[in-house]
Every structure is written in structure tokens, then in C-alpha cells.
Amino acid sequence: MKEIEISTKTTQSIIRCGKGAFEAYAPAYKDKQTFIVTDSNVFGYYRHLLWRTFGDRTPIYILPAGESSKTFRYLREILQKMIDEGMRRNGYVIAVGGGVVGDIAGLAASLYMRGIHLVQIPTTLLAQVDSSVGGKTAIDCKNIKNVIGSFYQPEEVIVDPVFLETLPDREIRCGLGEIIKYGALDKDIYSKLTENEARLKDPAFLEDITYSCINHKANVVRLDERETTGLRKTLNLGHTTGHAFELYYRKKSHGEFVLIGMYYELYIAEKHGVCGGRYAENLKKLILKVIKKAPAYEDVGKAAAMAKYDKKNAQSMRISMVVPGVEGKSAELTLGMDEYIAEIEECAAHIREGK
């Protein structure tokens, strides 16, 4: 088992990773006042474990599974139930689930009595490698992803691969989306990925790479917790187009859209000369190992236009994105809206033509 600490000026967060982490650290909360937030799928698999670990009288709020629960309606319901249950300021919100549960439970914890203790227990690969760490919380609103949220560090994150045993293959692929993103930001992670291409879904490989990704994120968050210096923005690599497509097409999950977004943005990065050669080809190969084929959407221009809502844009009608650069480094590109849409359409045409 490994530990990573994130200390910032105001907060301290400890991340415990590895097999057995849940059994070793979760029972410490049994004697505390706890409020569990989870979703319907996770509750279905793990309710007995949760009752056994936290006590069968601990209140549990069960979200309907899926991104459409990251809304005001459910945030309000969570907060109201916390009031009804008499949660005190020294109580703990325990988020047990994927990124959706973690994001909304984190926001609720940050709002309730101006902030109560938060523990993240991520149960998807995506949440383990990325969303449970670093303290970003959010809900979606008016068709805009993560537009209402806060920075609020969990006191503890318990990352146990045992939860991945029930995770559908599709969700493993989503987690690989964020892992490949880290590969484009970190030379060591890139090497591990290219050396282990044939065993990307192997549990031992996933446990090792999860730790590497969390370590990378922790190093970034320590230096730029609130995304003020630009460093933390690099973690959004591929997300500008990924989020735009996610808003427009909806059918796939966040992690799949991150991979598709990365694929399209790689095309833009190559076109602008910031990424290229064998390295760009290898990144594409890694992406296609997970999604098989990048979709060549017909109405892709309309989907790309949704990028106008991206939080990274400093000026209206200019799209700012973080794309792969040279190995281990990202680059930032800012394009006019029309140019961005034209290049996304060009990429779709290339895919259609099998180039």
C-alpha cells in the first residue's frame, strides 16, 4: 500500500492506494458521524460492505447512476437529507462511487455549514486515477458541464482496486481515457503505457499506473491547487473537444469523450506543428487500442461549437485548448472559433477517408 500527501496553504489531503486500503482505513469512520453518498449501481453491489463498515444506521443518499444526476435537483436533495439527519459540522461526508458521486458529494460537503469533512472512496477507474484527487467538485447546469462547483479537498482518499472487480469493461476503458491523458503529460507514464500496450487492462498494471497518475496529479495540485498559474490547466488535455462532444452527443461517457477529444486535438496539434512524428502516431495508437476507431461524426461542427462554454477560454469566440506537445509536455493552442470548427471538421473528414 502506498500513500501520497497533498499539502497546500490551507488544506491537507492523504491518499491511500492499493489492495486492502478500504479494509484498512474505512473502518476508522465507524465511530464518527457519517453520511454516505453513493449511486444506485454501487449501492447494489456494495450495500452490505457499506453497512458492515460504517454501521447499518449510517444515512445513505443513493443517486440514480449516471451523469444526469450531477444537477441542482440532486444537490438540493443531498443537502436537505443532511439537514434532516442532523449532520453536524464535525461529521463526515463519505463519497463512495465514480466521478459523478465524488463531484456532487464533494460540492455538498463544501456547502453544508460552509464545509464539513469529506472522504472520497472512488469505485471507478476514472475516479481512482483522477476525479477523486485534487479537490474539484461540481454539478452541471444549463447544458454546461461542471459550471457550478468549488475547490474542496477531501481529507482522505481511499483508492482500493477491489472495487474494479465489478466494474464493466466499458468503464475500464473510460478510466484508460484519463490514464492516456496522463501519458501525454508525463514521460514515465507514457513509457509504461507503450511498454505495456498488450496489458492495459491487467489489474496489476492498472494498480501501478493508477499510483503514477495520482502522483502526477498530486504534484500539479500542490503547485497550482486553484488553477491560477496555468499548471493545473494541463490536466484538461483533450477535454476541450471532449467536453464539447460530450455535451452535444451525450451517448458515450466522459472518459470515452476524453479519448475522442484527444484524438481530434492531436490532429490540430500536428497541423500547428506542436506535436508530430512517431510520438503522435504512438499516442493515436494508444487511443485506438481503447476506442478501436475515432468516430467521424457528420455534424461535428455543431458539436465543436459547444467548446464556446469551456472554462479555459479567456476571450469569447476564441477556443483555448491543451494539446499534446513533445514527449512528456503539453502545449496550449488558442484558435478562433471558425478556425477551430474547420479543423475539427477536417479531422472528421480524414477519419472518414481512412487517413
Residues at the site binding ligand NAD, with contacts judged by CB under 6 A: 39, 41-42, 45, 65-67, 70, 97-101, 103, 123-124, 126-127, 130-131, 134, 136, 145-146, 163, 166-167, 171, 174, 253-255
Report how far residue 139's alpha carbon sits from residue 74's, in angstroms, rounded to the nearest whole number. 9
Minimum Å distance from CB 354 to ligand NAD? 30
Question: Which residue in the shown chain puts its C-beta closest to ligand NAD?
Answer: 99
Number of Cβ within a 10 Å radius of residue 293 = 9
Minimum Å distance from CB 92 to ligand NAD? 19
Dihedral of CA atoms 179, 180, 183, 185 in degrees, nearest 10, equals -90
State the catalytic residues: 114, 136, 178, 217, 227, 232, 236, 239, 243, 254
Minimum Å distance from CB 350 to ligand NAD? 28
Report how far residue 49's alpha carbon sits from residue 160's, in angstroms, rounded to the nearest whole number. 14
Q: How far apart are the first and last CA of the chain?
A: 45
**Would you state the cell numbers that stand for residue 339, as one nine-digit string?**
478556425
Minimum Å distance from CB 63 to ligand NAD? 9
Minimum Å distance from CB 353 to ligand NAD? 32
Minimum Å distance from CB 213 to ligand NAD? 11
- Helix or strand run (H / E) with residue 128: none
Minimum Å distance from CB 210 to ligand NAD? 13
Q: Which is nearer to ligand NAD, 255 or 324 (CB)?
A: 255
Residue whose C-alpha cell reads 506542436 in the numeric block: 274
Q: To 10 degrees, what angle do helices 277-291 and 254-271 make? A: 160
**Would you state the cell numbers that stand for residue 206, as one nine-digit string?**
492498472
Q: Rounded to 5 degrees, what are φ and ψ at 276? A: 180, -170
Report how far residue 300's alpha carbon sits from residue 345's, in angstroms, rounded to the nearest whole number. 6
DSSP bridge partners of 120: 95, 157
Q: Are 266 and 274 in contact (CB under 8 A)?
A: no
Rg, the chain, Cα only: 20
Report how far apart, in Å, the C-alpha atoms of 162 and of each of 122, 158, 195, 198, 199 are: 11, 11, 25, 22, 18
Residue 293, classed as helix, strand or coil, is coil
Residue 160, classed as helix, strand or coil, is coil
Q: Which is nearer to ligand NAD, 140 or 270 (CB)?
A: 140
Q: Residues in the chain, how many?
A: 355
